[in-house]
């Protein structure tokens, strides 16, 4: 085990860079069925401090699809969460493993709970518990064949990697500025990737007004603009400024509209929003419009040898007050524009590889269709982390041993069959609180919603632990066609709501 107490920050970075250089050798040895190959998973996420501890735990469990890695017969895995995971949930995932005896996989899985239900990041909790980290480290058989998988990469995850003495499959946290809203706008401009008019590096309301005035001078008819916090996630850091009827030179009226901007976040007040804007910075950009508008995303990864790999394209499903909050996705994206977005995304990927980025990332776009029926793409965000489209795609990939074919925009299983998915983290209703985890699995069995290994279609649930507390669960529906995947999704949603309603009635007291 490595002790960090005597290392200053500069020494930690120097040691981390050296540790990361081992990642290529670790990667090359993966899947060779060495008896001492292992992975440590720390799905540390940052959630709204006002959120419940149950939601934080559910987001940590959202990455339980990684248990499907245990299909590799010699791999050992340590999976860390804030509080213990119910046995039934673990059994559910292990039962999905193709061609693997679940008990054999379970014997190679070590579950570690910090026993801390606060909403603080999991990595922070771990670093406060050196004895627990020592126990995790003692379970690593060979550090030359082990690595750390984290949700995102910050100084905390860096220190975890150093303490455990294993490299992290993720980027140097010092590159995180590239993934902020300001950083990615600069990167898009430098790489010649089309993106909306606007300005970055802003810190206060007056700067936002100035930026809007500049856009109005160029496009007087702009109807609305979007203000974004630099580190906003899933659209919750966005706010809309209504500019209808403002014109090109009415600064006082623009300032009035900025003062009453409409927030996407249901928990922030305008005063709190501007406090965060002053602290973290942000951008303002024109809201792209057209006769038809969609919000696709491209996933890529940079491998340890520097190669850039196109992984997938998705169409995002959006909600919230003005349709900017991420609630789910369909995969693959419409082939009418999948190459239109994957091309510039690969340009961004090559730049990130040159900067030293490692691991998965996603580029979000807005595509609009003009009167002539032609699609036009605008890059809007870069996420240097795993995101809401990561777990549905990898679930499908692990279950089918398939791959995304970039030229055709299709996902093909190992047998060449086409597959599609619809996924959400937001199947939610107060009625769902009537269901226990066992009730969910009972409904899955009775209504034959479980993923069918022979047909390679069906439904996989995630974020299961927050069902009773929050009335929320996630799911990925896999079908042979887009319509079949959507039908499965809607059927699963309807079945759960019907079961929840029935469970609620059963609990009523007799007259």
Q: Is 4 exposed, middle or buried (0-12, 13-18, 19+ CB in 10 A)?
A: middle
Task: Tell me the percentage of the chain whose pLDDT exceeds 90.
Answer: 77
Say what the pLDDT of residue 231 is: 87
pLDDT tens digits, 65-108:
999 999 999 999 999 999 999 999 999 999 999 889 999 999 99
Q: Is 429 exposed, middle or buried (0-12, 13-18, 19+ CB in 10 A)?
A: middle
As a whole number of angstroms, the distance between CA 344 and CA 377 comes to: 9
Say what the pLDDT of residue 2 is: 47
Say what the pLDDT of residue 351 is: 97
Q: How many CA atoms lie within 13 A of 370 on its CB side?
A: 5
Distance (Å) of CA 137 to CA 34, 64, 70, 131: 18, 21, 19, 10
β-pairing verdict for 458-462 and 76-81: unpaired
DSSP summary character for residue 283? E
Say what the pLDDT of residue 246 is: 83
- Per DSSP, helices labelled H in 150-292 are 155-164, 181-190, 205-218, 251-259, 270-280
As a whole number of angstroms, the distance between CA 470 and CA 472 comes to: 5
As a whole number of angstroms, the distance between CA 393 and CA 389 comes to: 6
β-pairing verdict for 282-286 and 224-229: antiparallel
Say what the pLDDT of residue 76 is: 96
Say what the pLDDT of residue 507 is: 59
Say what the pLDDT of residue 45 is: 84
pTM of the model: 0.90
Say what the pLDDT of residue 1 is: 45
Say what the pLDDT of residue 326 is: 81
Say what the pLDDT of residue 250 is: 86
As a whole number of angstroms, the distance between CA 505 and CA 502 comes to: 5
Tally of CB atoms within 10 A around 321: 14
pLDDT tens digits, 453-464:
999 999 999 999
As a whole number of angstroms, the distance between CA 224 and CA 237 comes to: 16
**118 token code pair:** 């606060």
Say what the pLDDT of residue 30 is: 82
φ and ψ of 116, to 5 deg: -140, 105
Q: Are 464 and 400 in contact (CB under 8 A)?
A: no
Q: Are 346 and 425 in contact (CB under 8 A)?
A: no
The low-confidence residues of the chain, meaning pLDDT below 50, are 1-2
Say what the pLDDT of residue 107 is: 97
Say what the pLDDT of residue 152 is: 84
Q: How many residues does the chain have?
A: 511
* Residue 497 DSSP SS3: helix
As a whole number of angstroms, the distance between CA 161 and CA 169 comes to: 10
As a whole number of angstroms, the distance between CA 24 and CA 384 comes to: 19
| Nearest residue to 315 (alpha-carbon basis) of 445, 444, 126, 482 | 482
Say what the pLDDT of residue 510 is: 59
As a whole number of angstroms, the distance between CA 284 and CA 200 comes to: 7
The partner residues of 297 in beta bridges, in order of sequence, read 314, 364
**175 token code pair:** 């590159």
């Amino acid at each position: 085990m490595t002790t960090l107490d005597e290392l200053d920050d500069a020494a930690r970075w120097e040691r981390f860079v050296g540790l990361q250089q081992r990642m290529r050798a670790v990667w090359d040895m993966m899947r060779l069925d060495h008896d001492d190959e292992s992975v440590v998973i720390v799905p540390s996420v940052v959630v709204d401090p006002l959120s419940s501890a149950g939601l934080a735990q559910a987001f940590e469990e959202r990455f339980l699809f990684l248990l499907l890695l245990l299909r590799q017969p010699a791999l050992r895995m340590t999976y860390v969460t804030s509080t213990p995971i119910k046995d039934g949930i673990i059994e559910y995932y292990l039962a999905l493993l193709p061609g693997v005896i679940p008990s054999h996989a379970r014997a190679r899985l070590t579950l570690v709970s910090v026993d801390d239900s606060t909403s603080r990041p999991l990595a922070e909790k771990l670093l406060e518990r050196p004895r627990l980290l020592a126990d995790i480290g003692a379970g690593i058989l060979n550090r030359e064949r082990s690595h750390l998988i984290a949700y995102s990469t910050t100084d905390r995850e860096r220190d975890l990697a150093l303490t455990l003495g294993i490299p992290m499959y993720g980027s140097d946290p010092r590159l995180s500025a590239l993934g902020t809203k300001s950083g990615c706008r600069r990167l898009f401009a430098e790489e010649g990737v089309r993106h909306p008019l606007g300005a970055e590096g802003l810190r206060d309301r007056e700067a936002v007004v100035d930026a809007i005035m500049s856009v109005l001078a160029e496009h007087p008819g702009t109807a609305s603009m979007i203000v974004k916090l630099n580190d906003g996630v899933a659209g919750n850091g966005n706010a809309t400024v209504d500019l209808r009827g403002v014109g090109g030179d009415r600064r006082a009226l623009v300032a009035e509209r900025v003062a009453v901007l409409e927030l996407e976040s249901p928990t922030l007040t305008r005063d709190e929003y501007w406090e965060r804007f002053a602290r973290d910075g942000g951008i303002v950009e024109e809201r792209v419009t057209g006769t038809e508008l969609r919000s696709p995303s491209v996933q890529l990864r940079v491998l340890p040898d520097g190669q850039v790999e196109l992984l997938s394209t998705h169409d995002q499903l959006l909600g919230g007050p003005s349709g900017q909050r991420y609630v789910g996705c369909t995969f693959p994206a419409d082939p009418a524009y999948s190459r239109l977005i994957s091309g510039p995304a690969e340009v961004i990927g090559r730049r990130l590889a040159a900067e030293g980025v490692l691991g998965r990332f996603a580029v979000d776009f807005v595509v609009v269709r003009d009167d002539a029926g032609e699609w036009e793409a605008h890059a809007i965000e870069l996420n240097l982390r795993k995101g809401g489209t990561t777990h549905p795609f990898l679930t499908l990939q692990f279950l089918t041993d398939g791959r995304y074919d970039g030229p055709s925009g299709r996902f093909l299983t190992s047998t060449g069959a086409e597959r599609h998915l619809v996924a959400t983290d937001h199947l939610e209703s107060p009625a769902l609180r009537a269901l226990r985890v066992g009730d969910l699995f009972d409904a899955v069995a009775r209504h034959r919603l479980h993923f069918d290994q022979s047909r390679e279609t069906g439904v996989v649930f995630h974020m299961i632990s927050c069902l009773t507390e929050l009335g929320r669960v996630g799911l990925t529906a896999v079908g042979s066609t887009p319509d079949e995947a959507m039908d499965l999704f809607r059927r699963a949603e309807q079945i759960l709501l019907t079961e929840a309603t029935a469970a609620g009635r059963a609990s009523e007291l007799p007259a």
